[in-house]
């Protein structure tokens, strides 16, 4: 029996077309910019030599394109890939496609920061971060933790808010503190976790 957990390599996609123009993207299925694609390859070069048993990837195209770049940079041709709607981005509902800077002027700083960062701030026809947590964590518990505990190394390619919700679980972050958690584009986190999927160790890298 393997008594050491595998590595959970958590990555956020790189720059999308709407990231570049400062728009709330959410579940809108937009692709990467050319820069984003180039940086995804750079992420893969950083990960080259890492042993990965399988990949879990959001079902949105910007994560697919990031994964393609990562695998190209790693020079990996074949690896089991599981697409997961549970790891898609937060749904920004009626705010999808809105320019963030313009919405900050309309909302004021306090409401704008609530929408972007807080745990349970409602969005018309969209999701709170709490709702993202509640759809994603059961999948993590059922489909990822057992394989990590058995010693497998798993790569996740997902989105900023979804990963923030995942970090909240893994690092046991209080509701009131999640607003301080960031997951910039192209960030890579290496976790080792216990049998409940909670953090034993963490390394974080930003690929620029």
Q: Which residue has the tokens 């990562």?
A: 70
Question: What b/e readout covers 144-175, taking b as 16+ CB neighbours within 10 angstroms?
Answer: bbebbbeebbbbbbbbbbbbbbbbbbbeebee
In the three-class reduction of DSSP (H, G, I as helix; E, B as strand; rest coil), residue 203 is classed as strand
- Which positions are catalytic? 13, 89
Q: Which residues contact 4 (CB under 8 A, 6 or more apart)?
A: 151, 192
DSSP 140: I
């Amino acid at each position: 029996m393997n008594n050491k957990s595998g590595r959970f390599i958590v990555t956020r996609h790189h720059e999308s077309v709407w990231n570049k123009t400062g728009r709330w993207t959410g579940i809108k299925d937009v692709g990467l910019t050319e820069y984003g694609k180039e940086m995804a390859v750079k992420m893969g070069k950083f990960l080259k030599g890492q042993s990965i048993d399988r990949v879990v990837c959001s079902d949105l195209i910007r994560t697919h394109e990031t994964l393609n770049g990562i695998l190209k940079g790693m020079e990996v041709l074949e690896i089991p890939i599981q697409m997961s709607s549970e790891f898609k981005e937060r749904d920004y509902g009626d705010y999808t496609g809105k320019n963030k800077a313009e919405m900050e002027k309309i909302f004021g700083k306090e409401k704008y920061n609530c929408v972007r960062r807080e745990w349970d701030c409602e969005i018309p026809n969209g999701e709170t971060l709490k709702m993202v947590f509640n759809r994603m964590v059961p999948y993590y518990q059922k489909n990822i933790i057992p394989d990590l505990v058995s010693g497998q190394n798993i790569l996740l390619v997902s989105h900023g808010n979804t990963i923030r919700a995942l970090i909240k679980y893994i690092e046991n972050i209080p509701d009131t503190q999640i607003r301080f958690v960031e997951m910039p584009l192209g960030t890579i986190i290496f976790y080792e976790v216990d049998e409940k999927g909670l953090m034993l160790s963490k390394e974080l890298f930003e690929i620029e």
